[in-house]
Amino acid sequence: AERCELFLCIGTSGVVRPAADLPLIARSSGAYAVEINIAPGALDDRLDLHLYAPSGQLLPALMTAAFGDAAR
């Protein structure tokens, strides 16, 4: 988490420690932190971007947008 540039926080409540600290560690180290979840969670006010949708639907679309056909 301390050395990443992008941290994806996917499908979590953001309350179970120590895992809930990982996106905060990443962000404090300069990473862009994104939450992907079906509803707002405990980390909402501390991350950079929130995408509210089922991860099983959103992740394939993000991968295709980022990597094109190589994502398949």
Domain boundaries along the sequence of the chain: 6-71
Dist CA 56 CA 42 (whole Å): 21
**What percent of the chain has pLDDT above 70?**
97
The pLDDT confidence band at residue 29, using thresholds 50, 70 and 90, is: very high
Angle at 6 between CA 51 and CA 28, to 5 degrees: 100
| Selected residue with higher pLDDT from 18 and 71 | 18
Tens-digit pLDDT profile for residues 46-55: 999 999 999 9
By C-alpha distance, which of 46, 33, 42, 32 is closest to 12? 42
What is the per-residue pLDDT for 72? 67
What is the per-residue pLDDT for 1? 87
Average pLDDT over residues 39-47: 88
- Taking 90 as the threshold, does the pLDDT of residue 23 lie above it? yes
Architecture of domain 6-71: 3-Layer(aba) Sandwich (3.40)
